[in-house]
Amino acid sequence: MSKKIRTAVVGLNMGLQHAYAFHESEQADLRWVVDLDEARAKSVAEELGCSYTSDWTAILDEVDAVSLCTPHHLHAPQALQAIAAGKHVLVEKPLANTEEDCLRVIRAAEEKKVTLMMAYVLRYIPAIVRLKEVLNSGRYGRPINASCWVEGFLPPNPDSWFARKEKLGGGVLFSHGCHYVDLLLWFFGKPELVASLGTRLGTEWMEGEGTAHATIAFSSGTLGHVSCSWGIKHSGAPARFHIQTTEGLLALPADYRKIEWVTDKGTETIYEEAPASIERKSGSVKYEVEHFLSCIAGGREPETNGRDALRSHRTIWAMYASRGEKVPEAAR
């Protein structure tokens, strides 16, 4: 049996799922968990039987790979430091807050020949992988319109890094919507035109927009739309994705467990995830973490690599740069 990959997780909020996934994996040996909040790191370490520290730079020599699950403005400097030390890196989204920093990290990983993977967790969820296959099969018609709803409520936290545009890298569209822009690009290919509008209404504690509507026109003719918000107390959205094709509707519920095909003949479930035989604490993160570890072991490029992430970040930056057309006075 090949040697296990020695791992560390930095940042233990979202990173807790990463720690669970490394702990559960046959491919990994979770050595360290790290958080500035040492008490938190200690309690996670006790649960998972590994070491803990608040200084991630001190333990780099003892691991092969790190997961960076820290605030967005830290992703680039931390990734660059880990890569310089020859470590494989799994970075929570987004890769970095600027194009320049994304390119720096991507080039550094290429030069050092280490694995750089983006933690786009949704890309590895079985129902999403199946939806991509369904779309590629051509059996369900040509996609005309894809709508996606990601609407929730983030308790106001004006003192957090989330509130600062410079640290978050923008607003909800960049921070959370990036998953769904990434999926739309993966599903439908080349984006041609983009537009977006955002508001801070209801999320005034954030400097960036807390609610956004973003639209992509793909070169195929398909239109994609993401409605995302951190200010909505009652969403009532009909699904996570609705994809209307020339033949019917493909619907993916928000729990990502099945795909429905709706036509004038009725509704057919074309995919349903089997109930898990064992409940894993890592949830969906286990899929991306297994992919990361397999890519390291096999020297393969991850599906969600740095260049792929940069492509979807560039699409969002183009959305932010787009300006709504002013409605003429006569129409108001």
Ligand X SMILES: NC(=O)c1ccc[n+]([C@@H]2O[C@H](COP(=O)([O-])OP(=O)(O)OC[C@H]3O[C@@H](n4cnc5c(N)ncnc54)[C@H](O)[C@@H]3O)[C@@H](O)[C@H]2O)c1
Q: Which residues bind ligand X (CB under 6 A)?
A: 10-14, 34-37, 56, 69-72, 74, 92-93, 121, 175
Minimum Å gap between C-beta 141 and ligand X is 31
Minimum Å gap between C-beta 283 and ligand X is 10
Cα gap 87→66, rounded to integer Å: 7
Task: Output 38 or 247, the one with its CB closest to ligand X.
Answer: 38
Minimum Å gap between C-beta 72 and ligand X is 5
- Helices of type H across the chain: 15-24, 38-48, 72-84, 99-112, 126-137, 165-168, 172-175, 178-188, 285-298, 306-321
Distances (CA, A) of 82 to 61, 62, 95, 144, 300: 10, 12, 14, 43, 19
Minimum Å gap between C-beta 224 and ligand X is 20
Minimum Å gap between C-beta 12 and ligand X is 5
Q: What φ, ψ does residue 303 adopt, rounded to 5°?
A: -60, -40
Minimum Å gap between C-beta 244 and ligand X is 26
Facing residues of 119 across strands? 92
**What angle (nearest 5°) sits at the alpha carbon of residue 317, between those of residues 205 and 143?**
105
Task: Output 303 or 322, the one with its CB closest to ligand X.
Answer: 303
Task: Output 179 or 242, the one with its CB closest to ligand X.
Answer: 179
Task: Output 179 or 213, the one with its CB closest to ligand X.
Answer: 179
Task: Output 106 or 134, the one with its CB closest to ligand X.
Answer: 106
Q: What number of residues does the chain have?
A: 332
Q: Does residue 242 contact residue 251 with C-beta atoms inside 8 Å?
A: yes
Cβ within 8 Å of residue 55, ≥6 positions away: 34
Minimum Å gap between C-beta 98 and ligand X is 15
Query: What type of residue is 321?
Result: A
Please state whether beta strands 143-151 and 65-68 pair in parallel, antiparallel, or not at all (unpaired).
unpaired
Query: What type of residue is 187?
Result: F
Minimum Å gap between C-beta 218 and ligand X is 24
Q: Which residues of 154-185 are buried (b: 16+ CB within 10 A; e: fewer)?
A: bebeeeeebbbeebbbbbbbbbbbbbbbbbbb
CB count, 10 Å around CB of 147? 18
Cβ within 8 Å of residue 298, ≥6 positions away: none
